[in-house]
Amino acid sequence: MVGCGGTIASEPAADGAAPAKAGEELVDAVPSVSEHADLRVTDVGSRPGFGMDFAVVAAAADAVCDAVDDGADGVVVTQGTDTIADTAYALDIACDVPVPVLVTGSQRRFDEPGSDAPANLLTAVRAAVDDRFAPGAHVAFDDELHAARDAVKTHTNALDTFQSPGKGPVATFTRATTRLHRDPARATSETSLPDGTLDPGRDAADYADVPVVHSGTGVDGSFLERVLDGADGVVVEGTGLGNTTGPLGEAVADAVEAVPVVVSSRCHAGPTEAVYGTAGGGVTLRDHGVAYAGDLSTAKARVKLVLGLTAGLSRETVEATFE
């Protein structure tokens, strides 16, 4: 088990809750996990989910690899829910290990009434030792297992916050059994990124700078023009199938001359597709030279673009991974 902090490790305080528990304390608080596995715990951070950066994710990836080298049959990563989906996806595409990796956390602290922390930790451990789950990362939460590529945090505080829009969970857990709903193999079709992409020796500031620009009613191109200064790439969160306002689309035409631009959708489910003309329509954006994120969420499109550029892949290679 690799501990990164989060609500599951938090304790109340006068100035607001914050991560304080070590991973061993989490394991000790859920004795039933020892019925399923012998757990070795490594702590690599004590961050809230909203405070995660790629340096901590890299430290987690390094700990995952070390655990596998030491003979682990599976690995559980605990962290804050705000960015669980980001971390799981990063591990899925940049941490190529031959065992299941389960990322979990909780919406409520251990000390809160109705805490989901014990159940989520137990679900993750059960999944980690289930030989039906192939190598790759999943999110284990609320008695369900979601593929890293598809998992999205959908609610700020509901216990069933993690969903796979348009896909559904890979498996559900009852007290006695685990029910598979679809192929538990790695859901991502992307080729793994090069070894060392998540380098624990690399500072957080050394990862590629990829801002996100949102399109919506009345959005012009000024923000995109401003963020281009120093950016290594840009993700444009479009509307619908991946369209933008006309002024933003015109700014995209200039942006692609400088950096790779990936267009995602603010919709929760469904693919991006080039269907419409006009200044911000998908056909026009495609002709400008953008890459489309498919059904990958905006956050994960950014994770992939950051990691691909940081790995030193050519622009053409990075853009091709989205197609």
Q: Are 79 and 44 in contact (CB under 8 A)?
A: no
Tell the burial category of 87 from Cβ atoms under 10 Å away from its Cβ (0-12, 13-18, 19+). buried
What is the distance, to the nearest Å, from the Cα of residue 166 to the centroid of all Cα atoms in its chain? 17
What pLDDT does 188 receive? 60
pTM, rounded to two decimals: 0.95
Are the folds of 2-180 and 208-321 the same? yes
Question: With a cut of 50, which residues of the chain have pLDDT below it?
Answer: none
3-state secondary structure at position 1: coil
Q: Are 161 and 90 in contact (CB under 8 A)?
A: no
What pLDDT does 187 receive? 59
Q: Are 153 and 140 in contact (CB under 8 A)?
A: no
Phi-psi region of 279 (alpha: psi -120 to 50; beta: other; left: phi over 0): alpha
The domain locations on the chain are 2-180, 208-321
Tell me 117's DSSP state: H
Class of domain 208-321: alpha beta
What pLDDT does 194 receive? 84
d(CA 253, CA 217): 19
- Asked whether the CA dihedral 3, 194, 92, 321 is positive or negative, the reply is positive
What pLDDT does 182 receive? 87
Q: Are 208 and 311 in contact (CB under 8 A)?
A: no
3-state secondary structure at position 247: helix
- Which CATH topology does 2-180 take? Rossmann fold (3.40.50)
Q: Which residue has the tokens 């059904």?
A: 295
Contacts of 276 (CB under 8 A, 6+ apart): 241, 243, 282, 283, 284
* Tokens coding 215: 């399109």
What pLDDT does 149 receive? 93
Angle at 97 between CA 94 and CA 100, to 5 degrees: 105
**Distance from the first to the final alpha carbon of the chain:** 34
What pLDDT does 191 receive? 56
d(CA 230, CA 134): 40
Tell the burial category of 178 from Cβ atoms under 10 Å away from its Cβ (0-12, 13-18, 19+). middle
